[in-house]
Structure 1
């Protein structure tokens, strides 16, 4: 009976996991290879898959299977995570889940066209539908303190609007004087191209392979908005886009998405074809990509090792450039329009802006039609940047096209978590910088696999943080890291 109860639960979970993987594969294809006219059919098929996965998760029989497997000794972490999924899904109508998926598929193409045409008005009707559907979703959880809590907890379990506001306020208080001090210093100059796209891809993949990218289990493609999708430990897809004028988008974007992929590839095999075989939260997931992109990718140890190879590929732009000068240029602080291109110091302000606008939407203090003006005013207030067009402003991110309100805070939460883990990694691996300089990125990867990746969703982000750092979410390590890094770069 013991084995039978556990086997029955895992059979049920395997079906749900397969449905999620099929939906993810369709989403990946939509953003990489699908012809534009496929959006309607893709939306309908995707909506069906999401509805079926939702119904299987909400099925009362799953509750019975969980009870039996728990009595039989199934892993407590799996039971906890799946029970939370089951209880949440039981509150949300399957028809609502399907409609949300269908609107997201339709909105993807409309958003792409609206951004290209700098035409927010053409996207606004679908955005209003998303907001309405998300309000219906939040209404399924009347006990939450704030309707935005219900949306955010889809991506960051346990997060609340009040706690995130407090953490972000502390972060803003520390960032503003740092950015102000940097602004008083001379600009280090641009790292000017051209950097041929094929050579960018070569360098990016060579570094990614040293991180753990495996050609037999991974692939890389182009997308308008780079992302990672995983159909399991042995099927990891990353996407990128390159711009010949800069390394900032293609090279560092690949390191970012590879960080996400390493998380998925590092989950223990025992969680294959279960619904816990993925990252425990998007904040923890983002901590991995931000760490590899910035704390490793823009560091002195990494470029001491890789600058000679970069000079072989880009002899003109990098001729005569030494590590110190390169570091100042790839870490230059310049308040900018585009979040994904933002430097480490200003990045979180982009996220705070989006978080505040989303909260105001769901509090009723802001309407969809007011978003462009509110966005532009907040960009001017927080970053001192004037927004010349909606394409470079309110339309720049794909997330609202997908209807994923509550997602944006995880970028800043993940950046904070990354700094906490980075500090802990240096305590656990005292010679970590030397290892990175020697080309050894595997030691850090394996430390992260041991302490973060392997658990999948069987441990919460808070449990992982407490075990590794001795405390929960804390903005202080990020502020220390940024002040130390930019203090040295800008002689503050």
Structure 2
């Protein structure tokens, strides 16, 4: 495409302006999740709604669409993966999807989800799903309508259209096959672990760990692995997340538990992984496809890689454990490194997704994938959701929750309207293991690097193979280019087996 430079510049200006408005809305929502007074919630919903509606109008204007069509129709000798071609292709794709959503519907969804998150937070604290149910019902109705509108003329279902916002071109049939195969392998592995001759002592992680010490320790670890605090910050919230408010403003949030050390530390590593991806995107392209993440599956691959492939490895703890003992003395004075490492790699079915071990984590995702799909399809009602949630947990993990807070209310996603988001976690786990295997082959002695606290080589490898490309390639293409093979579950299963078999002795 020989781009008409003036037209291209006009399109980019409008896209950047929409991104600016979106970043303002994101800032307001970050404030809502961190420090906004409770009484301010209703007005905050109006503020966020106005920003998102204004951004939507810019992204769906007729002139903007005509310019994108003109650029798309122009012949080109450029690579389809070049910055300019990718910008036109992805912005045109966004325009075609967004134009199907009336501004009024965008405003309604924005207001409903801001209020929904406030309702969810209160209901979770009160352990009362019934208090959240009306807000959730409204959000589902609105998101179903949005999905149906976006699916028109595409051959997709409403749920697939919603997934497309997070994982472009994802299809239920393909995901279901991948997830079913993964479930079979994981179930077999978990069964072997359950009957293994050795089991870890996780009580050592339930001792009294000062929260202030955890805060300082988590910040130290995030900085050590590469999160740039000159361009980001670490805060606390009821549900960990990462959000980017500008090209040099990445916010990561975690939560701490006094009697469960892994919560804060691994939550921080996870969100730092997200943050380092955002910080690795090219700032000069902020607001445009070359400067944005390609998919949430790839985004999750970065967070899970640093949390699990790095953070739960023995070489990592050979570097960090002496400082850990010093920070949390006398709680860990009597605990040997091998004992601690075994404990943080426990495999045990549990209720809370964000605190689940590597082997059972994806089963949590598969449950949510099925439930949210049925909610959007209308084959599962909101009133039936808590019982079906517990039924799925009993069937899949052999446990069920006694409380709504530890069950159906544990995740913020549905209150925020993020239907179609959950499958990306498992796709991210698959990509994390595969990317890490490729990095180890190319970098050489990764274990030695970790033991010396040297994480920059791995981060730089990810910068070159994932971060700097933005959305110029698809997620599948990035994995293929970086690893030399299509995405598969083989690496994850092998990674888990290689780590857990020596620990458990099965």
1:91 aligns with 2:103: no
Distance apart, 1:221 and its partner CA:
1.2
Q: Judge which range, 144-153 or 347-356, deviates more.
A: 144-153
Match of 2:59 in 1: 57
TM-score for the superposition, normalised by structure 1: 0.97
Q: Judge which range, 393-402 or 473-482, deviates more.
A: 473-482
Matches within 5 A, 1:255-294: 255-274=269-288, 276-294=290-308
Q: Judge which range, 23-32 or 57-66, deviates more.
A: 57-66
Distance apart, 1:60 and its partner CA:
2.2
Deviations 1:173-202 (A, max 9, x none): 100011111111343111232211111122
Match of 1:122 in 2: 131
Distance apart, 1:67 and its partner CA:
4.6
Q: Distance in 1 between matches of 2:65 and 2:96?
A: 9
Q: Distance in 2 between matches of 1:84 and 1:36?
A: 38
TM-score for the superposition, normalised by structure 2: 0.94
Match of 2:141 in 1: 132
Q: 2:201 aligns with which of 177, 189, 192?
A: 189
Distance apart, 1:171 and its partner CA:
0.6
Q: Distance in 2 between matches of 1:128 and 1:13?
A: 33
Q: Distance in 1 between matches of 2:35 and 2:378?
A: 38
Unaligned runs of 5+ in 1: none
Deviations 1:67-93 (A, max 9, x none): 555659761111111111111111111
Q: Judge which range, 210-219 or 405-414, deviates more.
A: 210-219
Distance apart, 1:270 and its partner CA:
3.1
C-alpha contact 1:82 1:275 (8 A) present in aligned 2: yes
Q: Distance in 1 between matches of 2:156 and 2:229?
A: 46
C-alpha contact 1:6 1:68 (8 A) present in aligned 2: no
Q: 1:80 aligns with which of 84, 89, 94?
A: 89
Match of 2:321 in 1: 307
Distance apart, 1:321 and its partner CA:
2.5
Q: Distance in 2 between matches of 1:431 and 1:176?
A: 32
1:166 aligns with 2:181: no
C-alpha contact 2:286 2:292 (8 A) present in aligned 1: no
Q: 2:227 aligns with which of 213, 217, 224?
A: 213
Q: Distance in 1 between matches of 2:210 and 2:236?
A: 15
Q: Distance in 2 between matches of 1:374 and 1:273?
A: 40
Match of 1:222 in 2: 236
SS of the residue aligned with 1:219? strand
Match of 2:7 in 1: 5
Matches within 5 A, 1:230-245: 230-245=244-259
Distance apart, 1:65 and its partner CA:
2.9
Matches within 5 A, 1:321-400: 321-400=335-414
1:146 aligns with 2:157: yes
1:477 aligns with 2:486: no
SS of the residue aligned with 2:253? strand
SS of the residue aligned with 1:391? coil
SS of the residue aligned with 1:228? strand
CA RMSD, Structure 1 to Structure 2 (Å): 1.6
Deviations 1:90-141 (A, max 9, x none): 1111111111110001111111111111211111111111111111112111
Distance apart, 1:277 and its partner CA:
2.4
C-alpha contact 2:148 2:157 (8 A) present in aligned 1: no
Match of 1:409 in 2: 423
Match of 1:428 in 2: 442
Match of 1:246 in 2: 260
Match of 1:456 in 2: 470
Q: Distance in 2 between matches of 1:276 and 1:434?
A: 34
1:298 aligns with 2:312: yes
Distance apart, 1:468 and its partner CA:
1.1
Q: Distance in 2 between matches of 1:2 and 1:276?
A: 19
Distance apart, 1:357 and its partner CA:
0.8
Match of 1:199 in 2: 213
Tell me how many residue pairs correspond in the alignment: 492
Q: Judge which range, 402-411 or 4-13, deviates more.
A: 4-13
Q: Distance in 2 between matches of 1:149 and 1:4?
A: 36
Q: Distance in 2 between matches of 1:139 and 1:276?
A: 29
Q: Judge which range, 190-199 or 117-126, deviates more.
A: 190-199
Distance apart, 1:470 and its partner CA:
2.5
Unaligned runs of 5+ in 2: none
Distance apart, 1:241 and its partner CA:
1.1
